[in-house]
Amino acid sequence: MTMKLKTQYIFGGFLASIILLVGAVYGIPYVSTPSHIRNPQFEHYHFRTQIVVNSKLVDFSDDKFQNEKPGTCSAEPGGTPVDFHDNMDQMTHIHWDGITGGEFLKYFGWNFIGGSDDSFGSRYDDGFMPLNSVERFGNLLPTIPDGSKYYIYIGDKNKYEQKNWNNFLKQDLEDFFGNKSNLSQDEQASFLENIFFPKAYAHGGMVDEHEDETNKSSEELTRINNLIGNVVIFVQKNKPSDEQITTRFDNLVPLHESSCGG
């Protein structure tokens, strides 16, 4: 074999190694990140969450769960897929389309869906070069006692039903609750039109003039808050009693007027 041919083989092998390395560095994180995480789309709906671990209720109004810089009226997805704020317990704010229950729990410390405990992958936003890693908010949920099982219910004070735990972990939350966000495509376009001249939108696309909420009906407040449901999760060895379940659904936080950013 001539020296020239040897050089070509060496250079070809080196080039192939570089291509494989680049593919591994950029390709593996890309394909391992769910599409709705690597290219997040704007959404804004709510559901109430209660988590009970061995009879102790998680308090989401605690400062450690609260996001001091919630999203804005812009239709551009921000850096927070889900949060709690305004010092409110239970009221869970979803800012990215397609978020699952498993992703919600992982964001606050319980990883039932695999991958790194600290990251969901990288954002790419329509490109192949990663912009930044999507990190969890923190390892904040309580330690799960040995031998615990997971019992999950949706509903309200009038009725409730038990749901499948694995469905909660894997399904888009809108599909899990069986309710779609009322933020339509037209309303998303309206947000886009107001990026540079934002109005004070309430949740669900309505203009928020901060009217006296005593004049609002339950239906109006549900629509304004774009509420898709209520969920109660029990983490314990034995199935909760009817009394335990109804106590939680009898203690849902009241809906309130919501302003842009919430």
> What mean pLDDT comes out for the span 20-33?
59
Question: Using CA atoms, how far apart are residues 211 and 201, in angstroms rounded to an integer?
Answer: 13
Percentage of the chain lying above the pLDDT 90 cut: 53
> What mean pLDDT comes out for the span 126-146?
85
Nearest to 160 by CA among 241, 92, 235, 227: 241
pLDDT digits (tens, 9 = 90+) for 71-123: 555 556 778 899 998 899 999 999 999 999 999 999 999 999 999 999 998 88
How many other β-carbons are positioned within 10 Å of the β-carbon of residue 182?
A: 18
pTM: 0.78
> What mean pLDDT comes out for the span 228-253?
97
Determine the pLDDT at residue 191: 46
Task: With a cut of 70, say whether residue 131 has pLDDT above it.
Answer: no
How many other β-carbons are positioned within 10 Å of the β-carbon of residue 123?
A: 18
Q: Which residues pair with 56 in a beta bridge?
A: 53
The DSSP-derived string for 57-99 is: EP-TTSGGGB-SS---S-SS--S-SEEB-TT-SSEEEEEETT-
- When pLDDT is cut at 50, 70 and 90, the band that residue 182 belongs to is confident
Q: Identify the three-state secondary structure at position 19.
A: helix
Determine the pLDDT at residue 207: 37
The DSSP-derived string for 221-232 is: HHHHTTEEEEEE
Determine the pLDDT at residue 215: 64
- When pLDDT is cut at 50, 70 and 90, the band that residue 7 belongs to is low
Helix (H) or strand (E) holding 186: helix 185-193
Question: Using CA atoms, how far apart are residues 18 and 10, in angstroms rounded to an integer?
Answer: 12
